[in-house]
Amino acid sequence: MAAASARVCAVELPHPPWSSPPSRHSRPGVQREIQCSEQPRRREPLRRGTVSPRLPVPDHSPLPPYAGTDRLPDVSPERQLHDSESIARMRAASELAAQVLEHAGTLVKPSVTTDEIDRAVHQMIVDAGAYPSPLGYGGFPKSVCTSVNECICHGIPDSRALQNGDIINIDVTVYLNGYHGDTSRTYLCGEVDESTMQLVKVTEECMLRGISACKHGASFRTIGQRISEYVDEYGYGIDPFVGHGVGKIFHSEPIIWHTYDYEPGYMVAGQTFTIEPTLSMGGTECTLWDDGWTAVTVDGSLTAQFEHTILVTGDGAEILTMRR
């Protein structure tokens, strides 16, 4: 679950703790042209549907500290490091998140509602003895984020049915045995045009390039640098949302920038955080719906996002949310 720039589009809006200041979205002086001959088809603006009541969790479900409060926690300054026992727990939580996301992706087809996806995700998580981390986080009313078309992130599942040609990011986080595993990917719904498929493909490659920069002693700035250099080849915008430390705490330092802006400092073996770039086909200025969560592009341009939780190692990074 993206940190609005993980603390962060959040500054003076009622944003969740995870989005970056709008003035820091892209490298100055870069010409922005979509390098794809086919332009995306015209879409109707995203309309919200009806949000159903919050789903219950069993009495025996493990609860994170924020559950039941609807309070939006501050991003913790703690940089989460793990020993062998907590790494094993992070692997278990991340593996479950990956399994749930894979199942959710099989549901993406025209006429399916995002509320149906939420119900399936919720049930799979609680059946596994875990808790859906977004549920109740800062008052978020659902168990998964479903962000369609121009929704950058934090879309609330509702009664709107997916349509042929849509794209949807499904963002799953689970809380298992005291640890959070966090992952997302963008899925194609039905027949999607070439330019939209390119946006999705480039976004996934950006995430992987950011991950390739990670190892013990590497500077955090190299993550955003590698992503930005690749994005510049295509002319997409990098939206103002960031990755974050994750572990016992849902959102913590370090803040992971996906642009030429960067978090100072260096990575340490045993550290876990997310890398989750969001790219836009047009402008990167965003606005929040009055639900306080749904972040959409002002110009209605399509966006895509991919996310993994990673563990820094001595010579690289282990992708904890990679499906085994």
Binding site membership for a divalent metal cation: which residues? 171, 182, 244, 276, 307
d(CA 120, CA 116): 6
Count, residues in the chain: 324
Three-class SS state of 38: coil
Q: Which amino acid is at 6?
A: A
The answer to whether 122 and 132 have CB atoms below 8 angstroms apart is yes
**Which residues are annotated as part of the binding site?**
154, 171, 182, 244, 251, 276, 307
- Which run of H or E residues covers position 291? none
Q: Which residues are annotated as a binding site for substrate?
A: 154, 251
Q: What are the DSSP calls for 194-220, one per residue?
A: HHHHHHHHHHHHHHHHHHHT-STT-BT
Going along 27-149, which residue ranges are E strands?
Answer: 131-132, 145-148
Structure tokens at 145: 């984020």
Which of the 8 DSSP states describes residue 307?
B
Rounded to 10°, the helix 114-127/84-106 angle is: 140
Nearest CA to 14 among 312, 290, 252, 265?
290
